[in-house]
Structure 1
Amino acid sequence: MFHKPTWLALGLLCALPLASLAAGNPQAGAKKNSMCVGCHGIDGYKTAFPSVYHVPKIGGQHADYLVAALQAYKTGTRKHPTMTGLAAQLSDQDIADLAAYYAAKR
């Protein structure tokens, strides 16, 4: 049988990964999406920089995916000149808020 301090330590260890993730606020994300909506909010939008490609609409995408993608652009492990520059300006809370906002859109 575990003693009370052991249970407390186990509980804290289990909570650490969840506590490290910022909870996203869709309402806050709605106020921060001006950099995103110009490309990702238009059906069939294509851009010519750095090459011609179809820009995906991200509304309804899973929040965890959006967080991972933005973090990868921010750290440079995912490459795209525009997205890398934009993501570099975002805090972890900005990323969580934007992900929550776009995940809630359909």
Structure 2
Amino acid sequence: MSLSQIAAQTYGLTAGRAWSLVGIVAGLAGVGIGVFARRRGVVAVACGVVGVVLGVVVVLMAKGGPGTGYGIVGGYVSLVVGVVAAALGWRAMRKGARAAAPRVE
């Protein structure tokens, strides 16, 4: 196998890279919803969980390190962004519940 064939295989969009991108997009959607939403925290948590699960799957299925085409770097980014999205969604749910609670005077 020549060097050009190896380079052509690792610089394209592989399945691992595609799945890690899907996880990153889901996590970023969850971050956006968690930051700007008051009562949609459940959606942000769900998007965060999807990002984390896809990140874990990509990282566990990767057979090589960064630059091998398995999407391991994107998997780790998906994990981090998913955790942030879930935390922001949880915070939005708590804030929404606190705002909806009856006030004692």
TM-score w.r.t. the length of structure 1 is 0.29
Greater helix share, structure number = 2
TM-score w.r.t. the length of structure 2 is 0.29
